[in-house]
Amino acid sequence: MLQRKFDKIVKGYFPKAMDAKDTSIHYLGKMQIEHKLDISRILMATSVCSDDINVPSTTFFNVLFGPFIMGGLGGLPFAGQTGMTAFAHHIPDDGSAFIFYGPHIGITLEGDLGKMYRPRQEQTGNSCGALMLALSRLGDSSYTPVINDDDYQQMKLEESLLPYREQILDGENKEKAITEATYEIIDEKIHSYIKACKNEFHVDKITLLGGIIINTDYGLDDYFDAKNFEVIDLKNL
Ligand SMILES: [Zn+2]
């Protein structure tokens, strides 16, 4: 019942979003049937935010090996080209790669984006915390992030968002806008690391599934708004 209520609210913001179970069935089916990939020989990597709330939302592909964890705060692939290379070297012989990536955003039954009820907490908290912190800082026009060793990921995340500052602050829904901008940043980085590391893969196919994870209440299915599904043939890259 509660799930059905969430379904309506989530689809008000993300009309094409599917719940976690439907997402895995839909895309694993496509990989197997349309692309003839052997599901039993796929290694998965993720580039999603470190937030504990995303652990159940990424295990919905748990029939696959992995995941190799590339993501840090906000979901940016902080493991970089070295991480992509290591992942490439771990793929089963005659298998293929699968990378699931994107930022996340919480939603409440009241329809608030950027917030969620976490396990055994009475009050809502931010989700994604890193992005909502970045949003509050970028709202101050005099603010510039200072890259430092002790808060490296957050500062890099904020720096990556600077070119999108105006677009985010002018957005009808700033929480949604900063999440969408972060998706663009992650998507661009994943593609560029694959290109840079293409000779490290001993297999031909890499499946990408990128989008926005939408966190609902604890215990209920999360949703996923897919923005990119593609099977890259490294021979043609
Ligand atoms: Zn987060």
pLDDT in tens, 171-193: 899 999 999 999 999 999 999 99
pLDDT of residue 54: 87
Question: From ligand 1's centre to the CA of 89, what distance in Å?
Answer: 28
Q: What is the mean pLDDT of residues 92-102?
A: 97
Question: From ligand 1's centre to the CA of 220, what distance in Å?
Answer: 18
pLDDT tens digits, one per residue of 104-154: 999 999 999 999 999 889 999 999 999 999 999 999 999 999 999 999 999
Q: What is the mean pLDDT of residues 63-86?
A: 97
Decide if pLDDT at 81 tops 80: yes
Question: From ligand 1's centre to the CA of 117, what distance in Å?
Answer: 14
pLDDT of residue 11: 96
The tokens describing 94, both together, are 């005659």
Please give the share of the chain, as a percent, with pLDDT higher than 90.
Answer: 86
Band of residue 3 on the pLDDT scale cut at 50, 70, 90: confident
How many other CB atoms are found less than 10 A from the CB of residue 29? 11
Decide if pLDDT at 59 tops 80: no
Q: Where are the domains of the chain?
A: 2-230
Class at the top of the CATH hierarchy for domain 2-230? alpha beta
**Nearby residues for ligand 1 (ion, Cβ within 5 Å):** 49, 51, 128, 130
The Cα–Cα gap between 70 and 190 comes to: 10
Question: From ligand 1's centre to the CA of 125, what distance in Å?
Answer: 11
pLDDT of residue 17: 97
Residue type for position 24: S
Question: From ligand 1's centre to the CA of 143, what distance in Å?
Answer: 21
Question: From ligand 1's centre to the CA of 18, what distance in Å?
Answer: 20
pLDDT of residue 228: 98
**Of 54-68, 118-132, 151-165, which has the strongest mean pLDDT?**
151-165
